[in-house]
Amino acid sequence: MSAQNTFHPTVYLGTGGYSDTDMLGTLYPLGTKKTDFLSEYAKHYGAVEINSSFYAPLGQKAYEGMLRKSEAKIKFAIKLHQDFSHTLKATPEHAEAFIEAIQPLIEADCLAPLLIQFPHGFDRTHEHRLYLAKLADWFHDYPLAVEFRHASWHIAQVEHSFQKFGLIWCSVDYPQVKGLPNSRLLFTQSTVQHNTAKRIGYLRMHGNNLNWWDAMSASERHDYRYTPQEMQNWAQAIANQRQHFDELYVFFQNSTNAHAYYNIAMLREALQALQFQVL
């Protein structure tokens, strides 16, 4: 690993999805058609987290369209369908179909990590641990980031297992309310243990809306704009662990009221001042 990689890792910034009309007038010029959102998005950010794949499986044509509109200039993180994470009805055949669908992204070298986000009810039981092991095996050839919302997973033993199997711990900035894990930044990939050329980190920014549990929608839940000082603090936290990663993907979920647009600009400036390459 070169000294340049060690001291100047790359940070990809983006949002959870690209279709929020709240971004009109900021990221998207007023009058931009929704069919042109991704083309405009790709002019500004280096990666995007696709969440629509959670609700309905997407086919190859959908991903080919994304590549075409983005001119293959950005990386796509793809959220696994809810059958993998919530209903737990997924099978090896489902995994094969998913991998087949994303082949256009793989061939274009535009695939960021896959993301699986387990719900609060997915606690660390023996049955769930066995299921996670199966799922990790289905996707063992691809970078897989795992987000746990149940605190029982947030222990050193799980962290060590992730390091052993080359899984990416999905770090999350949650609101500091009862029932959610503490926010933290954790890197679990190593080149030695996973024979990978790049150690990848993943961070999701949910904001600090204390109305999380009472919110009527995801949009309302993410109605929070970070302050410049909060973004500075996160930039410093990232810098403090720069020796542990080569690439970090940071996705802001707070596109409501265009909060993400302003927060990405804040974090970009703070990271660039700390000598990071920011895309």
pLDDT tens over the chain, length 279 residues: 444 444 679 999 999 999 999 999 999 999 999 999 999 999 999 999 999 999 999 999 999 999 999 999 999 999 999 999 999 999 999 999 999 999 999 999 999 999 999 999 999 999 999 999 999 999 999 999 999 999 999 999 999 999 999 999 999 999 888 888 889 999 999 765 445 578 999 999 999 988 878 888 888 888 999 999 999 999 999 999 999 999 999 999 999 999 999 999 999 999 999 999 999
Question: Do the Cβ atoms of 32 and 24 come closer than 8 Å?
Answer: yes
Query: How far from chain centre, in Å, is Cα 110?
Result: 14
Q: Whole-angstrom Cα distance, residue 25 to residue 22?
A: 8
pTM: 0.94
C-alpha to C-alpha distances, 89 to 82, 92, 109, 121, nearest whole angstrom: 9, 10, 30, 15
